[in-house]
A and B are shown apart, each in its own frame.
Chain A
Amino acid sequence: MNNNNNNEDFYLIEKVKEKNQDAFKVLMIKYQPRIFSALFGYVKSKEDAEDLTQQVFVRVWNKIDSFRGDSAFFTWVYRIAINIAKNHVTSATYKKDKLNISDDVINFDYPHFSSPELSIESDETSITIKNFISTLPEILKTPFILREYEGKSYEEISNIIDCPLGTVRSRIFRAREATLHFIKEELAND
């Protein structure tokens, strides 16, 4: 997570604190897969990880006023997720908690992923993606790798590859699109 992410998130969080559900939805979609991935690694069950992820975001919505920005938003959400996961492991009332989710005040559509072939819990997917990225044309591969694997900001990438910022953004977008297209084609045919 870079500083730009923080700026972007903080801007949205201010809106969420004003109960802007679209802002919350966007943040939730952005971080849900990472939270799911962390929880899946913890509970080793897709169903439980999905339930817990939902609990995490319900709690985020309810507790957003207590987020003061001392840490990155993702770090804060991650802590909530880990605490919920630990309670899940130790709490006998988990099932009861799960049933009570719908009683909460928030009313939004919980996002489900549109592409089942993009499976976070499958190691095969990440290997396939990595292999595909290595075959991308150099002009797409370099900025995409610098962004996704090295965590560089667009500005840093722009300096490294000596390209305008807009070109970096466009190339990363094209690399991402190409990867998604490939994954959907490839894995859908399996």
Chain B
Amino acid sequence: MTDINEKLSAFIDGELSSSEIDDLLMNIDNDGVQDKLKDYAQLSAIISKDKKEQLNKNVTYIKFPDFLQFRPWLSNGLSAAAAVILTVFLINPSDSDRLGFNSEAQSQIQAAINSDEAKNNILRIEEGLLEHMLNVLDQSDLKKKSQYNPNLTNVGFQNKSNRPGHYTNGKENFYMHIADKDLGLKNLRYWKSGKNMVYLYPLPGGKVITLYGNLSIEEANKIIGSIQIR
């Protein structure tokens, strides 16, 4: 019995040879074998869940290798946004820190991106956030008047005259969107989308600001801090 149980344990770890798998299949209906395999599988799943939760305490990462497969699930037509491949990522900063960026977070991002799970798994992001984000990314390509178009010269950014909501400092470019929408955010969250970043931050009065562009965290921090909404 010990021998078959050791094989079951190795099977859970993906370490059985073909001949041992054949042996396992011959024994799977024997008394106790299935129960033992179930126990090992369940124990492994609990540990895996715990591991994932530890990671998610600081890092939320997603991978959409087949992004289009997710489109039917999105409730609204987000056609242009379908071209945006969100490849991955990120952060639930500390509640005690308004914007909570730190070097540890950066290394966690890297760890998450490099981890086997990031490569193999698709983890979900809250549907409301994703949908909002895709809407904003969608709108960033349109020459549509933003509801808010604040002056950001005090933090070194100029509004592009022909594109409402688009700003540049010559090196960094981004699109700003402020919506009357409560997404349940408690603090800043941000994601990487190709070469760009998406920053979401809750503003007073049930509003949310979204920044999308090749903005560094430091600049995003400054911009968000300068926004005054009445």
Contacts and interface: CB of A to CB of B under 8 A. Distances in A.
A149 B46 contact: no
A179 to B, nearest CB: 6
A183 B58 CA distance: 28
Which are the 8 A-B pairs with shortest beta-carbon distances?
A5-B14, A33-B45, A126-B50, A4-B14, A114-B35, A173-B9, A86-B73, A173-B6
22 contacts: A1-B120, A5-B13, A8-B14, A8-B15, A9-B14, A22-B29, A33-B45, A33-B46, A34-B45, A79-B69, A82-B122, A82-B124, A86-B72, A111-B38, A115-B39, A148-B48, A151-B116, A153-B13, A154-B10, A169-B10, A173-B6, A183-B43
Interface stretch (B18-26, B83-91, B175-183, B211-219): B18-26
Interface string A30-53: 111110110000100000000000
Given A26-B24, A173-B10, A37 B122 contact: no
A8 B12 CA distance: 10
A25 interface: yes
Interface stretch (A54-62, A69-77, A98-106, A134-142): A69-77
A159 interface: no
Interface residues of A, number: 63
Interface residues of B, number: 44
Interface of A: 1-9, 11-12, 15, 20, 22-23, 25-26, 29-34, 36-37, 42, 71-72, 74-75, 78-79, 82-83, 86, 90, 111, 113-115, 118, 120, 123, 125-127, 129-130, 147-149, 151, 153-154, 169-170, 172-173, 176-177, 179-180, 183
